[in-house]
Structure 1
């Protein structure tokens, strides 16, 4: 298939589709949080691993939605590469509800944490592909270049923390999850600290 020549209208359509898929992913995650049938707060308290896994995953999906929205502000047209990179990102994010449910149900066991960390790292690879496409085919002004440089810095640091988290999971599941939480905090931080770290 040849690349399309759709402009901002096509970009908006892809972004709207992505918003819908991400909304479904969040809905699936919350539906996995089944209320206990037994009476008593102790049965509700017993669900804390499921709730913590949900909160962490919700933060991740929210971060990807925010960054996806900001990234598409710099897209100028639709190409096959952009479409497939975006589909790849959505596919990797669609695995998050399963990994989240597995992590919570298994009470942060070693194997469940390892699966969770690996699943969490997959969207980062897909996002790098998507960003490289938009950086090449999208806006080329100074603001766009500044955004890409800043985002790529954070992406490199986040990937390194993810990789460390996967390795640390073999030592302690909580150490691996701490790295996952650190990545979320990293993306919530303003521009300054990471850019200062890399001299940007």
Structure 2
């Protein structure tokens, strides 16, 4: 090992010693997400308790919009958590910037059960859609900003920059598609939250982005 490499290793060890471990933050984040996913079911539990229908079938017929938004929110929060989990898999340390980005992200996750309950409590209107889909946009945006932060602070993790950049492209696509879904809800309200299925375009769009990038980086003959 050269003197320069030895000094760099010493500086890295000193930086690691000053920065707190990411393990407690990861555990706390997992707990917050688990609580948020559990809170999603509470309005349905109250609906069952207060039900006036004479059969389970009648209850399902009356509550199917609430059931739909519950399942949708559960799947979306689960996907947000999976993305966060993969992003932090090789994050070893936390600084103030990363800590506060994660706290903001947890706030958006905890808010989602409230936004979900709003969709089934009040009559459909633009504010309801803005509160729900806007919350999803914010959650996705904070994840994207967190990935940008990690790209700029390699001392916090052992992940490759290329992997973070690939994830950043996917995050930007998802955030934009949430925005597109919200605009389509305003433009063609009849389909309402079914417009969120535009998120299935994420992979095809990402494939196009990768092909375009590869063509640009290929050396010309």
In structure 2, C-alpha distance between the alignment counterparts of 1:74 and 1:22, rounded to whole Å: 19
In structure 1, C-alpha distance between the alignment counterparts of 2:111 and 2:190, rounded to whole Å: 21
Q: Structure 1 residue 145: deviation in Å?
A: 2.1
Out of 87, 90, 95, the residue aligned to residue 71 of structure 1 is: 87
Q: Structure 1 stretch 19-28 or stretch 130-139: which is displaced more?
A: 130-139
TM-score (norm 1): 0.83
In structure 2, C-alpha distance between the alignment counterparts of 1:47 and 1:17, rounded to whole Å: 33
The 1:86/1:30 distance shift into structure 2, 3 A limit, reads: same
RMSD: 2.4
Q: Structure 1 stretch 103-112 or stretch 33-42: which is displaced more?
A: 103-112
The question of whether the paired residues in 2 share the 8 Å contact of 1:11 and 1:77 is answered with yes
Q: Deviations over 1:92-130 (max 9, x none)?
A: 111100111111223654432232111111111211222
Tell me what 2:157 maps to.
Answer: 139
The question of whether the paired residues in 2 share the 8 Å contact of 1:161 and 1:179 is answered with no
Unaligned runs of 5+ in 2: 1-15, 214-221
The 1:43/1:195 distance shift into structure 2, 3 A limit, reads: closer
The 1:51/1:4 distance shift into structure 2, 3 A limit, reads: farther
The 1:166/1:60 distance shift into structure 2, 3 A limit, reads: same
Q: Structure 1 residue 181: deviation in Å?
A: 3.0
Tell me what 1:37 maps to.
Answer: 51
Tell me what 1:5 maps to.
Answer: 18
**SS of 1:73's equivalent?**
coil
Unaligned runs of 5+ in 1: none
Tell me what 2:134 maps to.
Answer: 118
**SS of 1:130's equivalent?**
helix
The question of whether the paired residues in 1 share the 8 Å contact of 2:144 and 2:172 is answered with no
The 1:102/1:177 distance shift into structure 2, 3 A limit, reads: same
In structure 1, C-alpha distance between the alignment counterparts of 2:68 and 2:41, rounded to whole Å: 12
The question of whether the paired residues in 1 share the 8 Å contact of 2:173 and 2:206 is answered with no
Q: Structure 1 residue 186: deviation in Å?
A: 5.4
Tell me what 1:54 maps to.
Answer: 70
The question of whether the paired residues in 2 share the 8 Å contact of 1:25 and 1:97 is answered with yes
State the number of aligned residues. 189
The 1:111/1:4 distance shift into structure 2, 3 A limit, reads: farther
Structure number with greater Rg is 2
Tell me what 1:197 maps to.
Answer: 208
The question of whether the paired residues in 2 share the 8 Å contact of 1:114 and 1:169 is answered with no
